[in-house]
Amino acid sequence: MTLGELKQIVSLGEGISLEFKRRVPRDERIAKEVIALANTQGGRILVGVDDDGTITGLDDASEQEFVLRRAVRRRTFPEVDIRTERVVVAPRRDVILVTVPESDQKPHHLVDEGMGPGDGTAYVRVEDMSVEASGESVEMMESANSMTGVTFEFGEAESLLMRYLDDYGRITVGEFAKLADISAEEASATLVRLSKANLLRLHADRKEDYFTLAY
């Protein structure tokens, strides 16, 4: 990548698939950013760029890349596959371009060394932030490869839900539980089941995830 191409990317500003870091932060923070991108739609992290888009570069890019890769290896499970490239921005100053593809091994979790499957916390991107994934988001990621053949009974709660969505457009787990007078656990299970059947779409949100009609 050329410096001109880098400047074009930076001009877009941080967003759902682009994150700026002046330097590699502590292991937990950088691993969380990588995980969130992998669990969402993939993206890039530019190390050596301020939050305001100022391209500062790094005079110790080799050391910073080592710290980055060590954090990903130690703190992500399954380990997230990343690619790195250095862009020269000034004499002896580089920006590290970290490319994180959308993963086919979702969900990835932030873990401590020694943790395994089922441990740790999953993250997703919402706008320009990496936030903890809801239980519904995790379940949808876990079942992404087995969503065919979902069956369910379309009862009173589901009918209430569809009428509500026709009128108001979106609903949270808590709102559905109150609407249908059911437990939050039952409301969550129903909304996820309908999402797996491609009738609803789950939207991650900073405050609380919500569901909309998928058609």
pLDDT in tens, 75-114: 999 999 999 999 999 999 999 999 999 999 999 999 987 6
- Position 115 scores a pLDDT of 64
Q: Closest by alpha carbon to 130, among 50, 3, 54, 41? A: 41
Q: What is the pLDDT of residue 96?
A: 98
pLDDT of the residue at 89: 96
Cα–Cα distance, 75 to 180 (Å, whole number): 40
The segments of the chain whose pLDDT lies below 50 read: none
Say how far apart CA 123 and CA 98 lie, in whole Å: 18
Delimit the CATH 1.10.10.10 region(s) of the chain: 142-213
Q: What is the pLDDT of residue 118?
A: 61
The reported pLDDT for the residue numbered 10 is: 97
Please give the CATH architecture assigned to the domain spanning 3-133. Answer: 2-Layer Sandwich (3.30)
Q: How far lies 195's CA from each of 93, 143, 149, in Å?
A: 47, 11, 13
Every domain range in the chain assigned CATH 3.30.950.30: 3-133
Helix axes 156-168, 173-180, angle to 10 degrees: 120
pLDDT in the model for residue 125: 96
Name the class of domain 142-213.
mainly alpha
